[in-house]
Amino acid sequence: MTTTDEPRSGARAVDRAIAVLTCFEGDDPELTLSELAQLADLPLSTTHRLAQALLRGRLLEQDPATDRYRVGHTLASLARPALTRLGLDSAAPHLFALAAGIRITVSVSMVEHRDAVTVFQARPPVSFCHHQVPRARQSLRSSAAGQALLNQDGVRRTGFASELIPTDDPIRAVAVPILGRDRRVRGALAVQARSARLDDELLRSVVPAMRIAAGRIAPLFQTGGVTTDLESVLAAELRSR
């Protein structure tokens, strides 16, 4: 192998390891080796080799009872500076308190390109189910979190955005914008649950609690960030019309 080949080989290995790690940004917190290989579009043997390296580096963990893989504590530690930069480490106690109070998972979303991306989740100690876990990446225009991030007239008028997600057991998602003192969007606070549970009566009690929490955590978020990204998205869409 020549010297010029080594960086290519190393870069390819890193790219594949990243492909394995990004498999965990979906709805399933734990994945089998075959699921990892399928999602990463890699051979099973290659996936196993990469997974073992990630286990040794503690970026992944493996459940000894099921052999399923999950994100390791080291990866969470590496993410802490980003959470600090976004203000989410300081906001976490408020988000967990809200989740416990309304007994629904609370998510924070921010803008990335033209999507609303989930960057943090606080699960309740009771009443959790998989229906409460949002997609990692959602449409900025059609999702409740995306509409809250856009904060256009309808959201400004009602104070929240709502979305009915059609499945065999329909899911209702609700989101409120996280607004700075300058009234610019810092992120979106969202919850979702089976629509049979998150009905109009529960919505009337959940939304005020979400808006109070959004107001409390807004000063903890760094200025700029999501606002800059959002303004770029809107400007690009206006130019395309």
Q: Could you tell me which residue, 53 or 74, shows the higher pLDDT?
A: 53
Single residue among 21, 45, 71 that ends a domain in this structure: 71
Domain identity same for 101 and 65:
no
Bridge partners for 121 per DSSP? 107
Q: How confident is the model at residue 83 (pLDDT cuts 50, 70, 90)?
A: low
pLDDT for residue 23 is more than 60: yes
Which domain does 202 fall in, by range?
A: 81-240
Q: What is the mean pLDDT of the chain?
A: 83
CA dist., res. 12 & res. 77, Å (int): 25
Element (H, E) at 227: helix 226-240
Domain identity same for 140 and 186:
yes
Domain identity same for 114 and 230:
yes
Per mean pLDDT, which range of 3-7, 149-153, 212-216 is the poorest?
Answer: 3-7
Single residue among 15, 37, 71 that ends a domain in this structure: 71
Domain identity same for 90 and 123:
yes
Domain identity same for 65 and 104:
no
User: What's the number of domains the chain is made of?
Assistant: 2
SS3 107: strand
CA dist., res. 54 & res. 74, Å (int): 10
Strands 185-194 and 171-179: antiparallel
Domain identity same for 53 and 144:
no
Q: What is the CATH number of the domain that holds 165?
A: 3.30.450.40
Domain identity same for 62 and 124:
no
Domain identity same for 196 and 121:
yes
* pTM listed for this prediction: 0.67
pLDDT digits (tens, 9 = 90+) for 119-150: 888 888 888 888 888 888 888 888 999 999 99
pLDDT for residue 2 is more than 60: no
Single residue among 42, 71, 100 that ends a domain in this structure: 71
Contacts for 42 with CB less than 8 Å, ≥ 6 apart: 16, 19, 20, 50
Mutual angle of helices 44-56 and 33-40, in 10-degree steps: 110
Q: How confident is the model at residue 79 (pLDDT cuts 50, 70, 90)?
A: low
Q: What is the CATH number of the domain that holds 28?
A: 1.10.10.10
Domain identity same for 235 and 214:
yes
Domain identity same for 93 and 186:
yes
Domain identity same for 136 and 157:
yes
pLDDT for residue 197 is more than 90: yes
Domain identity same for 111 and 66:
no
Cβ(115)–Cβ(138) under 8 Å? yes
Residue 110 placed within a domain:
yes
pLDDT digits (tens, 9 = 90+) for 99-118: 999 999 999 998 887 889 88
Residue 76 placed within a domain:
no
